[in-house]
Amino acid sequence: MSCADYEALLCDYVDGNLTEADRLLVERHLASCPTCAANARDAAAALAFLRRAPEPEPPVHLVNTILFNIPVPGLPPTAPCSPLVARLTARLRPFLQPRFAMGMAMTILSFSMLARFAGIGPRQIHPQ
Protein backbone atom coordinates (compact mmCIF):
# COMPACT_ATOMS: atom_id res chain seq x y z
CA MET A 1 0.00 0.00 0.00
CA SER A 2 1.29 3.46 -0.87
CA CYS A 3 1.01 6.55 1.30
CA ALA A 4 -1.60 7.99 -1.10
CA ASP A 5 -3.76 4.86 -0.71
CA TYR A 6 -3.36 5.13 3.07
CA GLU A 7 -4.47 8.78 3.08
CA ALA A 8 -7.64 7.83 1.21
CA LEU A 9 -8.47 5.31 3.95
CA LEU A 10 -7.31 7.36 6.95
CA CYS A 11 -10.73 8.76 7.98
CA ASP A 12 -12.40 5.36 7.78
CA TYR A 13 -9.50 3.78 9.69
CA VAL A 14 -9.68 6.29 12.55
CA ASP A 15 -13.49 5.99 12.67
CA GLY A 16 -13.26 2.18 12.65
CA ASN A 17 -15.32 1.80 9.48
CA LEU A 18 -12.87 -0.27 7.42
CA THR A 19 -13.36 -3.88 6.47
CA GLU A 20 -11.04 -6.36 8.16
CA ALA A 21 -8.90 -6.77 5.03
CA ASP A 22 -8.48 -3.00 4.54
CA ARG A 23 -7.76 -2.49 8.24
CA LEU A 24 -4.97 -5.09 8.10
CA LEU A 25 -3.48 -3.41 5.00
CA VAL A 26 -3.51 -0.01 6.73
CA GLU A 27 -1.96 -1.38 9.93
CA ARG A 28 0.75 -3.14 7.91
CA HIS A 29 1.50 0.17 6.16
CA LEU A 30 1.55 2.04 9.48
CA ALA A 31 4.09 -0.45 10.86
CA SER A 32 6.43 0.25 7.95
CA CYS A 33 5.92 4.02 7.49
CA PRO A 34 6.69 6.24 10.50
CA THR A 35 5.31 9.37 8.78
CA CYS A 36 1.91 7.81 8.19
CA ALA A 37 1.94 6.31 11.69
CA ALA A 38 2.47 9.78 13.18
CA ASN A 39 -0.30 11.09 10.92
CA ALA A 40 -2.67 8.36 12.16
CA ARG A 41 -1.83 9.15 15.81
CA ASP A 42 -2.51 12.85 15.22
CA ALA A 43 -5.82 12.10 13.51
CA ALA A 44 -6.90 9.76 16.33
CA ALA A 45 -5.92 12.37 18.94
CA ALA A 46 -7.87 15.09 17.09
CA LEU A 47 -10.93 12.85 16.86
CA ALA A 48 -10.69 12.00 20.57
CA PHE A 49 -10.45 15.70 21.40
CA LEU A 50 -13.52 16.50 19.29
CA ARG A 51 -15.50 13.78 21.01
CA ARG A 52 -14.56 15.21 24.43
CA ALA A 53 -15.36 18.80 23.49
CA PRO A 54 -18.74 20.06 24.69
CA GLU A 55 -21.51 20.71 22.21
CA PRO A 56 -21.39 24.39 21.18
CA GLU A 57 -24.33 26.52 22.25
CA PRO A 58 -25.82 28.78 19.57
CA PRO A 59 -26.21 32.45 20.52
CA VAL A 60 -29.56 33.33 22.06
CA HIS A 61 -30.42 35.84 19.34
CA LEU A 62 -29.46 33.57 16.40
CA VAL A 63 -33.01 32.45 15.55
CA ASN A 64 -34.33 36.02 15.67
CA THR A 65 -31.48 37.24 13.47
CA ILE A 66 -32.11 34.51 10.91
CA LEU A 67 -35.85 35.13 10.86
CA PHE A 68 -35.34 38.89 10.57
CA ASN A 69 -33.06 38.48 7.54
CA ILE A 70 -35.29 36.07 5.57
CA PRO A 71 -36.71 37.87 2.54
CA VAL A 72 -40.50 38.14 2.55
CA PRO A 73 -42.16 36.93 -0.68
CA GLY A 74 -44.06 39.68 -2.44
CA LEU A 75 -42.02 42.52 -0.93
CA PRO A 76 -39.33 44.08 -3.07
CA PRO A 77 -35.83 43.89 -1.61
CA THR A 78 -34.71 47.05 0.10
CA ALA A 79 -32.62 49.28 -2.08
CA PRO A 80 -29.36 50.64 -0.71
CA CYS A 81 -29.88 54.10 0.68
CA SER A 82 -27.76 57.19 0.40
CA PRO A 83 -25.02 57.88 2.97
CA LEU A 84 -27.05 60.75 4.44
CA VAL A 85 -30.08 58.52 5.00
CA ALA A 86 -27.84 55.80 6.44
CA ARG A 87 -26.29 58.25 8.94
CA LEU A 88 -29.69 59.65 9.88
CA THR A 89 -31.10 56.16 10.37
CA ALA A 90 -28.12 55.20 12.51
CA ARG A 91 -28.64 58.24 14.73
CA LEU A 92 -32.40 57.66 15.04
CA ARG A 93 -32.11 53.91 15.60
CA PRO A 94 -32.48 54.15 19.42
CA PHE A 95 -35.70 56.18 18.97
CA LEU A 96 -37.14 53.69 16.47
CA GLN A 97 -37.12 50.83 18.96
CA PRO A 98 -40.51 49.46 20.05
CA ARG A 99 -39.79 50.07 23.74
CA PHE A 100 -39.11 53.76 23.06
CA ALA A 101 -42.32 54.11 21.06
CA MET A 102 -44.31 52.38 23.79
CA GLY A 103 -42.68 54.59 26.41
CA MET A 104 -43.63 57.71 24.49
CA ALA A 105 -47.18 56.44 24.02
CA MET A 106 -47.49 55.74 27.75
CA THR A 107 -46.10 59.20 28.58
CA ILE A 108 -48.64 60.91 26.31
CA LEU A 109 -51.41 58.78 27.75
CA SER A 110 -50.34 59.62 31.32
CA PHE A 111 -50.23 63.36 30.63
CA SER A 112 -53.61 63.27 28.91
CA MET A 113 -55.12 61.37 31.86
CA LEU A 114 -53.61 63.83 34.36
CA ALA A 115 -54.96 66.75 32.36
CA ARG A 116 -58.38 65.15 32.17
CA PHE A 117 -58.48 64.50 35.94
CA ALA A 118 -57.28 68.04 36.62
CA GLY A 119 -60.16 69.38 34.57
CA ILE A 120 -58.04 70.77 31.75
CA GLY A 121 -59.72 70.25 28.41
CA PRO A 122 -58.03 70.40 25.03
CA ARG A 123 -59.85 73.66 24.22
CA GLN A 124 -58.32 75.35 27.28
CA ILE A 125 -54.72 74.91 26.05
CA HIS A 126 -53.46 77.89 24.02
CA PRO A 127 -50.00 78.54 22.61
CA GLN A 128 -48.32 81.66 23.97
Predicted confidence (pLDDT) per residue in 71-117, tens digit:
777 766 666 678 888 888 888 888 778 888 899 999 999 998 898 88
CB 40 within 8 A of CB 13: yes
Predicted confidence (pLDDT) per residue in 22-50, tens digit:
889 888 989 998 998 999 999 999 988 98
Give the pLDDT score at 75.
Answer: 66
**Residue 28 vs residue 121, higher pLDDT:** 28
Cα-based distances in Å from 88 to 54, 63, 100, 117: 44, 28, 17, 39
pTM confidence score: 0.43
Q: How many CA atoms lie within 13 A of 104 on its CB side?
A: 7
**Residue 114 vs residue 126, higher pLDDT:** 114
**Confidence class for position 4, pLDDT limits 50, 70, 90:** confident
CB 81 within 8 A of CB 89: yes
Give the pLDDT score at 78.
Answer: 65
Query: Residue 48: exposed, middle, or buried by beta-carbon count in 10 A (0-12, 13-18, 19+)?
Result: exposed
